[in-house]
Amino acid sequence: MSKSIVRIEGLSHRYTSNWAIRDINIEIAENSIVGLLGSNGAGKSTTMNILCGSLNQTEGRVYINGIDMKAEPQLAKREIGFLPQNPPLYMDLTVDEYLYYCAGLRLMPKTAMKQAIDEVKERCGVAHFSKRLIKNLSGGYRQRVGIAQAIVHKPGVVVLDEPTNGLDPNQVIEVRALIRDIARDRVVIFSSHILTEIQLLCKEIKMIENGRIVFSDTMDAFNNYIEPHSMIVHFGNMPAAGELEKIHGVVNTQILSDRLARVFFNGDQDISEHIVAQSIQQGWRLREISFEKNSLEEVFKLLSQHSSQH
């Protein structure tokens, strides 16, 4: 059994009399990108702050590579790299000056700093800006420098809060590729309110609503949470919409082209068998059936509503 890189047990925290999170349990045992979802006020930021050691929890334990964050915070924090939503950049420093400063904060040995900083600049694509002031960099390159400071000390866990926020489409694609590269040899916990970003990057989802975990599974399970109730059907001989609607379980159809139709159905698990049988009988020459997935927004809304009822 592989060792847990991140383990959160029974985590609860309250501000005055109100509980922000209650009984959060998360375990991450292998290198991957894990998405942390939650609406404003759901408890996501509280969980991230406790995970990164910037807030002491009321109850529960956080272990990073087996190290108890509360008992040995300095050792545990050496295993974590953190990029907040607003990167903690010093605009009047050069890229080199800033990364040396961050390496010092992480208590890296001075003899190891140059090689580590050269490696991280190359990996993040900012080596050619070593002597440039950070305030003279574009938003995308500032974000790269922010990611560089989060991994300069080679942590086992990297926490990124809204890392693509405010970037243009090209910069988003570049930062996305960088995050995938980083995740090859460590755990990346990726927080975002942009659901398509979570969908494109993450293998697993942890969703917090009303201070509790309401979903913890793979991205595929998240996408398929709701029965889709629609499919795209490809025919060699396209039947009329009325003919398709005669099939048991079909409630509506849209003819998309001379060979494609969207079929809406009532949730009947045998709907594809009904279509196949009718196609053979009528000579429609069925080529393909593909079920459509619900948008992440729909899943998110359903889970949020479900959690608020409990």
Structure-token pair, residue 204: 């697993």
Q: What is the reported pLDDT for 1?
A: 47
Q: What is the reported pLDDT for 227?
A: 62
Q: What is the reported pLDDT for 307?
A: 61
Block means of pLDDT (10 residues each) for the chain, 310 residues, are: 83 91 92 86 88 92 94 93 90 98 94 96 95 95 95 95 84 89 92 81 89 89 74 94 93 92 85 93 94 72 67
The structural domains of the chain, ordered by start, are 1-79+156-172+182-223 (3.40.50.300), 85-154 (no CATH), 230-291 (3.30.70)
The pTM of the full predicted model, rounded to 2 decimals, is: 0.77
